[in-house]
Chain A
Amino acid sequence: MLVVQPVLELVRALPAILGIAIIGSGSGRGGQWALAAAVLFAAIGTLRWLTTTYRITPEQVQLRRGLLRRQVLSVSRDRVRTVDVTASPLHRVVGLARVQVGTGHAGRSKDQSLTLDGLGAADAARLRGDLLHRAAASGLEAPEAPAAAAPERELARLDPAWIRFGPFTLSGVAALALALALAARLASETDVDPEDFGTLRDLVDHLTGIPTAAAVAEVAAALLVVVVLASTGGYVLSYWGFRLTRHEGGTLHVRRGLLTTRAVSIEERRLRGVEVTDTPLLRTAGGARCTAIATGLRRGEGAARGGSLLLPPAPRAEAERVAGLVLGDPAPATAPLAPHGPAARQRRYTRALGSVAIVAAALLAADLLGGWPAWPWIAALALAPVAALLAADRYRSLGHALVGPWLVVRSGSLRRRRAILATDGVIGWNVRRSFFQRRLGLATLTATTAAGRQRYPALDVDEAEALRLARAATPGLLDPFLAEDAPRR
């Protein structure tokens, strides 16, 4: 089965081979160049397959690879935090999958992660169950019945109606920008003049022929349609078949993907909380998404990126329900939060309008002294109402609460997050007071943790309230540092 690996590599290298053929076509021998490249890639693929072996011992997962530079990667099995199974369309055609074993301390370098590519899909699934549940059993609970037999309980599954949130994610903007950049690059690399294409030329002629305002409106409308389509498509591609299940062995499983399927497992003993996030667009549509706060799942770490997703953009009530199910307590996701008061509101406005004022003043100075045109500072001033709206929304987002054993903090506008963190997971406090915060009697109280974003701040809380919150969340920790009963110095 694994012999198909070189073939997969070859298919994956197809764009490069095509590129070589196109570049080589200048010399009139593009076909020969492409053939040589194909042989080379196939040889590399075969070599990689021949020299890569893995083995699973009761204590370790070992991966040996490399021909000239032999490398042995060993991961102790009780250090395994996450096991991701990914299958691209290519993998799926031939029934293979890629298993990535995460330890949570894997460095930035790609070499460090332990990836077993080209396993049979069934083997991959079994390996995942094996690695995770053995690890869990060796942890706290006594070994129980074989984990494979343990039942799974479904917490959430994709409702096709949720695809309506696709356009509100704007994921299509990135895809569109990428496609445009790629097209521009291709056009300049291959010396193709866009004017050569009839339809494109007609389009340009049409746009230059009508009034500017109409042209701008048409282009904007076209872009909007493309972004909406691309975002919806992206949503379907990423989240089709989404299922969140809880395994009795103590893990949460997420499966998703239309073409490339992903299966991610999160050990519940690593779970420190959940985050419910939304954006202004998602909020207008009444949607939100839900992610896990877990140790060993750092953001932006290769394939582990997005590994903490618990629910794709979905109705807000659903996100709150899933958060409640994952935490085992519905209260923290919906409990009302304490507002941060007028001083915090004043600071939001000062910061938003102040930065606009500074930029406008600098541009005005450039106009008066440096001979710049006048429109930049006028444009900057015109941004003031937007800044004020943003400030108002940022204030509305601010909130904090302690709900049972959960610390809840919320902030942000363009990306609003309600973070629900287990107080057990709090491993320290940072109390920051800037010069201006001290004048207003405010402090930013940050709970530090080993999970997720590492820091969960409550912005601009009243000093006494910050202390009350921290004392209630971690009883006794702050007591040695409190002012004495007679705090006179």
Chain B
Amino acid sequence: MLCAVTDAAPTDDAPAAAALRPPRHRVSPRAVRYWTLRAALGWLVVIAAQAVWLGVAPADATLQAIALAATVVVAVAHAIGMPRWRYRIHRWEAAPEALYTQVGWFDQERRIAPMSRIQTVDTERGPLEQLLGLATVTVTTASAAGPLRIAGLDRETADALVHDLTLAARVGGDDAT
């Protein structure tokens, strides 16, 4: 959390225009719930496996119980802390010339792709995302290294973004390599 705050303006004292600002738009606040659910489901599998092991065939009951308790503590911390941290970081912005995204939490990454180089625009809705009315937009370029993913957009925003991006991508003439 601390980092997310310092991250907002890392080089404020540098000369003007010497810093890249974060993208303008946040994703939907419901994304926090989505990430929490997803993390919780993942941890549940691990915790269930440990509990079953402890219940059915305990090799060293005390050690296993301690490990289970440790897993629960880490899981709760992760499921509560990670989505909120992530929500502060995940941002996106579509300028006329380029698309700009920022993702991550512990490690963070910003990606910039010119509109003229966009090749495909995908929208994905997993079961959890459908439940919460969210969508993930993935934009690819001709490079295998740089797909831009914006997760946790609400559906209306995602549809509008996809519409804009498809229009913008169509303008480019050559094969964008």
Interface of A with B (CB < 8 Å)?
295, 425, 427-435, 438, 441, 446, 448-451, 454-455, 463-464, 467-468, 474, 476-478, 480-489
If the complex has contacts A438-B3, A464-B19, are A480 and B113 also in contact, measured as CB distance less than 8 A?
no
A428-B14 Cα distance, complex, nearest whole Å: 25
**Would you call B19 and A487 a contact (CB within 8 A)?**
yes
Task: Tell yes or no: B60 within 8 A of A by CB.
Answer: no
A430-B110 Cα distance, complex, nearest whole Å: 6
**Would you call A483 and B143 a contact (CB within 8 A)?**
no
A448-B146, A483-B17, A483-B21 known; 15 new pairs, CB 8 Å cut-off, are A427-B142, A430-B110, A430-B146, A431-B110, A432-B109, A433-B109, A438-B6, A448-B113, A478-B20, A480-B97, A482-B20, A482-B21, A486-B16, A487-B21, A488-B12
A90-B56 Cα distance, complex, nearest whole Å: 65
20 cross-chain CB contacts under 8 A: A425-B177, A427-B114, A427-B142, A429-B111, A432-B110, A434-B106, A438-B10, A448-B146, A454-B143, A454-B145, A468-B18, A477-B97, A478-B20, A480-B97, A481-B20, A481-B23, A481-B93, A483-B19, A484-B21, A487-B9
A295-B14 Cα distance, complex, nearest whole Å: 38
Minimum CB–CB distance for B92 against chain A, Å = 11
A427-B143 Cα distance, complex, nearest whole Å: 7
B101 and chain A: residue at smallest CB distance: A430
A180-B139 Cα distance, complex, nearest whole Å: 48
Residue in B10, B14, B20, B111 whose CB lies within 8 Å of A430: B111
Minimum CB–CB distance for B144 against chain A, Å = 4
Residue in A428, A478, A482 whose CB lies within 8 Å of B146: A428
**Nearest 10 interchain pairs by C-beta:** A455-B145, A450-B142, A448-B146, A450-B177, A428-B113, A448-B143, A480-B95, A427-B117, A454-B145, A434-B107
Chain B's interface: helix, strand, loop or mixed, by majority? loop
A257-B109 Cα distance, complex, nearest whole Å: 44
User: Which one of A428, A441, A451, A485 has the greatest number of beta carbons of chain B within 10 Å?
Assistant: A428
**In the complex, chain A residues whose CB is within 8 Å of the CB of B111:** 428-431
A295-B174 Cα distance, complex, nearest whole Å: 14
**Would you call B106 and A428 a contact (CB within 8 A)?**
no
**In the complex, chain A residues whose CB is within 8 Å of the CB of B9:** 483, 487, 489
Task: Tell yes or no: B35 within 8 A of A by CB.
Answer: no
**Would you call B143 and A455 a contact (CB within 8 A)?**
yes
B100 and chain A: residue at smallest CB distance: A481
Task: Tell yes or no: B132 within 8 A of A by CB.
Answer: no
**In the complex, chain A residues whose CB is within 8 Å of the CB of B7:** 438
**In the complex, chain A residues whose CB is within 8 Å of the CB of B176:** 427, 450
**Would you call B143 and A449 a contact (CB within 8 A)?**
yes
**In the complex, chain A residues whose CB is within 8 Å of the CB of B177:** 295, 425, 427, 450-451
Minimum CB–CB distance for A463 against chain B, Å = 6
**Would you call B95 and A481 a contact (CB within 8 A)?**
yes
A431 and chain B: residue at smallest CB distance: B110
**In the complex, chain A residues whose CB is within 8 Å of the CB of B161:** none
Task: Tell yes or no: B157 within 8 A of A by CB.
Answer: no
**Would you call B146 and A427 a contact (CB within 8 A)?**
yes
**Would you call A428 and B117 a contact (CB within 8 A)?**
yes
B96 and chain A: residue at smallest CB distance: A480
**Would you call A448 and B141 a contact (CB within 8 A)?**
yes
Minimum CB–CB distance for B115 against chain A, Å = 10
**Would you call A463 and B10 a contact (CB within 8 A)?**
yes
A79 and chain B: residue at smallest CB distance: B175
**In the complex, chain B residues whose CB is within 8 Å of the CB of A486:** 16
Task: Tell yes or no: B76 within 8 A of A by CB.
Answer: no
A298 and chain B: residue at smallest CB distance: B144
Minimum CB–CB distance for B3 against chain A, Å = 6
A477-B93 Cα distance, complex, nearest whole Å: 13
**In the complex, chain B residues whose CB is within 8 Å of the CB of A431:** 20, 109-112
A295-B23 Cα distance, complex, nearest whole Å: 31
Minimum CB–CB distance for B26 against chain A, Å = 14
Task: Tell yes or no: B8 within 8 A of A by CB.
Answer: yes
**Would you call A441 and B10 a contact (CB within 8 A)?**
yes
Minimum CB–CB distance for B108 against chain A, Å = 5
Task: Tell yes or no: B47 within 8 A of A by CB.
Answer: no
Residue in B16, B95, B141 whose CB lies within 8 Å of A487: B16
Interface 0/1 of B1-45, CB less than 8 Å to A: 001001111111010111111010000000000000000000000
B112 and chain A: residue at smallest CB distance: A429
**In the complex, chain A residues whose CB is within 8 Å of the CB of B14:** 464
Minimum CB–CB distance for A453 against chain B, Å = 8
**Would you call A435 and B106 a contact (CB within 8 A)?**
yes
Residue in A295, A432, A481 whose CB lies within 8 Å of B108: A432
**In the complex, chain B residues whose CB is within 8 Å of the CB of A435:** 3, 106-107
**In the complex, chain A residues whose CB is within 8 Å of the CB of B8:** 489
Q: Which B residues from 111 to 160 make CB contacts under 8 A with A?
A: 111-114, 117, 141-146
**Would you call A428 and B19 a contact (CB within 8 A)?**
no
Task: Tell yes or no: B169 within 8 A of A by CB.
Answer: no
**Would you call B109 and A485 a contact (CB within 8 A)?**
no
A425-B177 Cα distance, complex, nearest whole Å: 7
A485-B110 Cα distance, complex, nearest whole Å: 21
A391-B111 Cα distance, complex, nearest whole Å: 28
